[in-house]
Amino acid sequence: SALLCFSASDNSTQQPSAADCLHSTMRFLADEKSSIDAKASGAKLLAFISRESTQSKSQISRDRSVRALVETTSNHVENFELVRNTMFLVSSLSVDDTSFDLSLVGHVKDIIEGAFGANPDDPDLNAYICGFVCNISSVAGADPEILPMQVVAKICSTPCASANPRYGRAFALVASQFPQFLDRQSTTDEAQRLLENLCDSNVEVQA
């Protein structure tokens, strides 16, 4: 990621500032000629920067590079590093619902469904998915049809779900915001495991 900042900096003989690094990384992500590996590294770097402040989240969310990244990732869901880092970024950015572009949610759903199907047991990916769904579910007027709620249900039904309270929180929040979602759950073995895991994880919905 540091090399990414240096290579995009206007003056490669000096160490770039944090602001230079942010802008150069966003330019890289918006550039169609940038390699997939560079985009994956850039997404991870922006995710870390976005966690510093609400201002950082807003600045990144409002840049065209985020849409370019999400659209690229939706076309390369087989690239796990790109997918995981993109989900890391959007799960962080979506914390600030005043600046996050909600029109991207449909694209992110496609990424989640494609990536989870190929990597159902990756704890980082699952945590980012649950974080994103929690954040978007809390937005007034959120459309449940464009949220990957079935993926969250599957995550919560995995054997290791009870060890990660974030999984249970995501399901509990989705269920409280969209009660009709529970009506779709059947009495299958998967649904039974989900309920057992929720009981084991001591779920609390956080404001």
C-alpha dist (Å) from residue 72 to 46, 95, 117, 125? 16, 22, 19, 18
Give the integer Cα–Cα distance in Å for 67 and 100: 11
Nearest to 85 by CA among 58, 111, 121: 111
Residue-wise burial string across 170-192, b where 16 or more C-beta atoms lie within 10 A, e elsewhere:
bbbbbbebbeebeeeeeeeeeee
pLDDT at position 149, please? 81
Q: How far apart are CA 135 and CA 102, in angstroms?
A: 11
Whole-angstrom Cα distance, residue 111 to residue 78? 10
pLDDT score, position 185: 56
Looking at residue 41, its pLDDT comes to: 93
CA atoms within 13 A on the CB side of 40: 12
Helix-, strand-, coil-residue percentages of the chain, each rounded to 5: 70, 0, 30
pLDDT score of 206: 39
Structure tokens at 27: 């330019």
Distance of CA 198 to the CA centre of its chain: 22
**pLDDT at residue 7 in the model:** 46
How many CB atoms sit inside 10 A of residue 99's CB?
A: 16
Give the chain's largest Cα–Cα span. 63
pLDDT in the model for residue 189: 53
Q: Which helix (H) or strand (E) holds 98?
A: none
- Report the pLDDT value the prediction gives residue 203, as an integer from 0 to 100: 45
pTM for this one? 0.80
List of the chain residues with pLDDT < 70:
1-20, 140, 159-163, 182-207
Q: What is the DSSP letter of 188?
A: S
